[in-house]
Amino acid sequence: MSLLDKFAPFAAKRAELLKHGNLPFGVVTEQILSPTEGIVEGRRTILAGTNNYLGLTFEPECIEAAQKAIAEQGTGTTGSRMANGTYDGHVALESELAEFFGRSHALVFTTGFLATMGTVATLAGRGDVLLIDGDCHASIYDGCRLSGADIIRFRHNDPADLDKRLSRLGDRTQDTLIVTEGLFSMLGDQAPLADLVEIKARHGARLLLDEAHSMGVFGARGRGVAEAEGVEDQVDFVVGTFSKSLGSVGGFCVSDRPELELMRFAARSYIFTASPTPSVVASTRAMLPLVASRPGLRDKLWDNSRRLYAGLAEAGFKLGPQPGPVVAAFVDDTEQAIDWWHRLLEAGVYVNLVMPPATPSTASLLRCSISAAHTTEQVDRVVAAFESLRAAPKAAGAAV
């Protein structure tokens, strides 16, 4: 087999997908009309798969802050945090993040992926153990690979399985980092954190929690599932992203552990990549206080989430285990999932199509993410579009 032969299965997969029309991946949004609407394939479309949970991407003060930063500091930093890429905005953002989370230390990375991957890969090394929830995000898996640590998976959201695996580790629990997520991005279920932290403390391990999808969504101040569950003091490291509730791009890690500061000298994804641009830093800084000061957005987000979940359940779709801002409908047959995804788009509704192996099981997902900015009428239109899938005859060639 030659170097490039490995792409043959991708070519076959692409050809297969093209049979259903345009490729579902990389669908082009030709115009963004608002946080919840765009023009997609020439059609006015409700955006119900954007992770724009608080719907703040057009917030005037954040846009203004970004424009000012670009005018004053330029389009990019052209260097890494370790070299020329640390501006006063990066330092200020770190101290504001630490304050937001009530922690002593914060590190800003260029993307959420780099934050999670780099933190996992740097905290654990050869001889250590990474004990991760089986459904963790790719950035956590990649961090595991890079770390050189021994990797053990526990069953998704299963405290008893975590307990069992820690018990088997004996003294090695001292060198163990447990990694899980606050809100899981595919099925929208939440980690049973109160149970997990009790088990972690009993075994003397440490815990890293990825709040990428839960920041802004859970907790009185929007700090995430750990805040909502009242267990923040039991979580050693929190990682997250600016690309969802904060409406920009970038990532962070916060902790009370002083070692976090030393990660600046050790985390390769912090050292060897250009720092976030001034405009990104400025809009994120302007957005952060809004997360805490506008709890009404969370109330609206949850109202919308429950309405969508109830509507799709009523329409007969099998959904993830609990209501929340991520609502995923299982579709056992991949061909049908692709067909339905196209039909939703034709009906003016964009959701994410997720197919195995990116899904936790063999089923595909029509994954919706809801926003505080969606109107009740928009949520009802999404539900109606899903209902029409069941009512209308299947497209030619689509197997059921």
Ligand X SMILES: Cc1ncc(COP(=O)(O)O)c(C=O)c1O
Q: Where does this chain bind ligand X (CB under 6 A)?
A: 111-113, 116, 137, 139, 181, 185, 210, 212-213, 241, 243, 251
Residue 180 C-alpha from the chain's centroid: 12
The C-alpha atoms of residue 209 and residue 218 are separated, in whole angstroms, by 14
129-133 and 150-154 strand pairing: parallel
Instruction: State which amino acid sits at residue 129.
Output: V
Shortest distance (Å) from residue 115 CB to ligand X: 7
Residue 140 CB, nearest distance to ligand X (Å)?
Answer: 7
Would you say 253 or 366 has its CB closer to ligand X?
Answer: 253
Q: How far is the CB of 240 from ligand X (least distance, A)?
A: 8
Residue number with CB closer to ligand X (81 or 203): 81
Give the type of residue at 246: L
The number of residues making up the chain comes to 400
As measured in angstroms, the least distance from the Cβ of 157 to ligand X is 14
CB of residue 17 to ligand X, shortest distance in Å: 22
What is the enclosing helix (H) or strand (E) of 168? helix 159-169
User: Which of 111/378 has CB closer to ligand X?
Assistant: 111
Joined together, the tokens standing for residue 33 give 């009309």
Of 196 and 347, which CB lies nearer to ligand X in the complex structure? 196
Cα 151 to Cα 149: distance, rounded to the nearest angstrom: 6
Report which DSSP code applies to 191. Answer: P
> Which residue lies nearer to ligand X by CB, 181 or 236?
181
CB of 112 to ligand X, least distance (A): 3
The nearer residue to ligand X, 133 or 339, going by C-beta atoms, is 133
Contact in structure between 176 and 156 (CB atoms under 8 Å): no
Q: How far is the CB of 209 from ligand X (least distance, A)?
A: 10
Whose CB is nearest to ligand X? Answer: 112
- Read off the tokens for 124: 């654990």
Per-residue burial over 236-275, b if 16 or more Cβ lie within 10 Å, else e, is: bbbbbbbbbbbbbbbbbbbbbbeebeebeeebebbeebeb
Quickly count: other Cβ atoms within 10 Å of residue 390's Cβ. 10
Nearer to ligand X, 208 or 366 (CB): 208
Say how many CA atoms lie within 13 Å of 185 toward its Cβ. 23
Cα angle at 57 between 51 and 289, to 5 degrees? 95
H helix intervals, 44-105? 60-73, 88-101
Structure tokens at 329: 């409908």
By C-beta, is 206 or 213 nearer to ligand X? 213
Shortest Cβ 137–ligand X spacing (Å)? 4
**Rounded CA separation 99/252 (Å):** 13
Asked whether 325 and 188 are in contact (CB, 8 A), the reply is: yes
Distance of closest approach, residue 145 Cβ to ligand X, in angstroms: 15
Q: Pairing between strand 43-47 and 251-255?
A: unpaired
Q: How near is the Cβ of 213 to ligand X at its closest, in Å? A: 6
Other CB atoms within a 10 A radius of the CB of residue 111 amount to 19
Q: Which is nearer to ligand X, 143 or 311 (CB)?
A: 143
Nearer to ligand X, 21 or 24 (CB): 24
d(CA 307, CA 144): 37
Distance CA 87, CA 73 (A): 9
